[in-house]
């Protein structure tokens, strides 16, 4: 018999905290362990192979901590590593454990928000290049037109606390202009990177009022609640003491200084090597 363990929540850095926050709101009774691979972030502009190897290292780390379920709360890792881990690695290293991402749950609902059937996805270069959003969305909403725009400067702006500065104005305006050039009838903008909710207020300043702005935290939390209900064999392996632990592969002090911005409350993390 396996002992119960926390639910693992992973991101390349801080962004996944925006998702964890919503998950804890929705399902406060479970234990969570968060890992930010800050030492190797950002992932957004790295190759498929690199993102896959980094993500797999982290998934193995979660398994060593006793997790039976790991959420990749990072679009880049979900886009570039999740499928290979699910199909090739899990059957060999941990057939009873599960790794889930954030793209599929988002793709399952995003079409419901659009009247014009034109959706804009803002994401990292890696997520855009993977074509994961257009492919996944097509499975659930075949008639939906998906326009994508890579915003390579947004993660560095957010990670450096520059999300409310004139530098942010410049890049937010530029990328929004580009995506509306690609799809003039877009009426839904999806923040397809877990860092971007920090830029929400800035984005709203430049977004036509009729356009809905969607971030993933609540969608992923809802989907996880649903998953746990449908999978009692995994749910029964998740411990329930309402505890959240935070780990980073870089400096814990730096992590704590920035993390509260994403998590909405103070965070006390521990450094870990993988
Ligand atoms: N938070 C990651 C995502 O959702 C991107 C950050 C990075 O580039 O490392 O895609």
| Same domain for 241 and 201 | no
Provide mean pLDDT across the span 70-97. 97
Residue 2, in any domain of the structure: no
| Same domain for 189 and 113 | yes
Residue 45, in any domain of the structure: yes
Instruction: Give whole-number Cα distances, 224 to 118, 218, 263, in Å.
Output: 27, 10, 18
pLDDT digits (tens, 9 = 90+) for 169-226: 999 999 999 999 999 999 999 999 999 999 999 999 999 999 999 999 999 999 999 9
| Same domain for 241 and 139 | no
Question: What is the band of 1 on the pLDDT scale with cuts at 50, 70, 90?
Answer: low
Query: Domain ends where: 173, 194, 215?
Result: 215
Instruction: Give whole-number Cα distances, 217 to 183, 193, 252, in Å.
Output: 25, 10, 24
Residue 164, in any domain of the structure: yes
Domain with 44 in it: what CATH number? Answer: 3.40.50.1860
| Same domain for 210 and 157 | yes
Tokens of 41: 């972030």
Q: Judge whether 74 counts as a catalytic residue.
A: yes
- Domain range for 178 is 104-215
Residue 249, in any domain of the structure: yes
Contacts of 16 (CB under 8 A, 6+ apart): 9, 10, 34, 36, 73, 74, 194
| Same domain for 251 and 155 | no
| Same domain for 207 and 250 | no
| Same domain for 165 and 87 | no
Q: Is 74 in the pocket of ligand 1 (CB under 6 A)?
A: yes
| Same domain for 96 and 225 | yes
Give the separation between CA 7 and CA 71, rounded to whole angstroms.
Answer: 8
Q: In what order do the strands lie in the sheet with 32-36?
A: 98-100, 69-72, 7-11, 32-36, 244-248, 269-271
Q: Which of 15, 191, 215 has most ligand 1 atoms within 8 Å of its beta carbon, as the pocket-test mutant?
A: 15
Query: Which one has a higher pLDDT value, 164 or 35?
Result: 35
| Same domain for 14 and 35 | yes
Q: Is 75 in the pocket of ligand 1 (CB under 6 A)?
A: yes
| Same domain for 74 and 146 | no
For the chain, what's the residue count?
Answer: 274
Q: Judge whether 193 counts as a catalytic residue.
A: yes
Backbone angles phi, psi at 194, to 5 degrees: -70, -10
The active-site residue, picked from 67, 74, 151, 238, is: 74
Q: Is 127 in the pocket of ligand 1 (CB under 6 A)?
A: yes
Cα-to-centroid distance, 26 and ligand 1 (Å): 23
| Same domain for 153 and 61 | no
Q: Is 44 in the pocket of ligand 1 (CB under 6 A)?
A: yes
Query: Domain ends where: 215, 234, 252?
Result: 215
Q: Give me the residue label for tokens 């400067």.
A: 153
Residue 140, in any domain of the structure: yes
Cα-to-centroid distance, 17 and ligand 1 (Å): 11
Cα-to-centroid distance, 124 and ligand 1 (Å): 7
Residue 1, in any domain of the structure: no
Provide mean pLDDT across the span 141-147. 97
Give the separation between CA 36 and CA 90, rounded to whole angstroms.
Answer: 21
Q: How many domains does the chain have?
A: 2
In this model, does residue 2 exceed pLDDT 80? Answer: no
- C-alpha 156: how far from chain center: 16
Give the separation between CA 86 and CA 97, rounded to whole angstroms.
Answer: 10
Q: Whose CA is nearest to atom 2 of ligand 1?
A: 74
In this model, does residue 51 exceed pLDDT 60? Answer: yes
| Same domain for 96 and 21 | yes
Q: Which of 194, 219, 248 has most ligand 1 atoms within 8 Å of its beta carbon, as the pocket-test mutant?
A: 194
pLDDT digits (tens, 9 = 90+) for 223-258: 999 999 999 999 999 999 999 999 999 999 999 999
Query: Domain ends where: 215, 235, 261?
Result: 215
Q: Give me the residue label for tokens 């103070």.
A: 266
Residue 127, in any domain of the structure: yes
- Among 60, 64, 58, 71, which residue's Cα sits nearest to residue 30? 71
């Amino acid at each position: 018999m396996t002992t119960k363990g926390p639910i693992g929540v992973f991101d390349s850095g801080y962004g996944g905290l925006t998702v964890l926050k919503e998950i804890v709101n929705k399902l406060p009774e479970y234990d969570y362990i968060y890992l930010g691979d800050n030492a190797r972030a950002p992932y957004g502009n790295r190759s498929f192979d690199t993102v896959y190897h980094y993500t797999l290292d982290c998934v193995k780390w979660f398994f060593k901590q006793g997790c039976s379920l790991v959420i990749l709360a990072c679009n880049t890792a979900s886009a570039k590593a999740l499928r290979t881990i699910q199909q090739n690695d899990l059957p060999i290293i941990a057939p009873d454990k599960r790794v889930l991402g954030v793209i599929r749950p988002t793709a399952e609902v995003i079409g419901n928000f659009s009247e014009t059937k034109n959706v804009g996805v803002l994401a990292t270069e890696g997520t855009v290049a993977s074509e994961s959003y257009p492919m996944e969305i097509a499975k659930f909403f075949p008639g939906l037109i998906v326009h994508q725009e890579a915003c390579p400067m947004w993660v560095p702006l957010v990670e450096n606390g520059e999300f409310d500065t004139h530098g942010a104005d410049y890049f937010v305006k530029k990328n929004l202009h580009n995506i509306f050039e690609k799809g003039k009838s877009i009426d839904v903008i999806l923040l397809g990177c877990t860092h971007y909710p920090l830029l929400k207020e800035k984005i709203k300043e430049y977004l036509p009022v009729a356009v809905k702005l969607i971030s993933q935290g609540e969608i992923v939390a809802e989907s996880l609640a649903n998953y746990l209900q449908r999978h009692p064999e995994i749910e029964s392996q998740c411990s329930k003491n309402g505890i959240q632990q935070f780990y980073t592969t870089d400096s814990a002090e730096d992590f704590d200084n920035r993390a509260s911005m994403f998590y909405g409350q103070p965070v006390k993390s521990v450094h870990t090597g993988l």
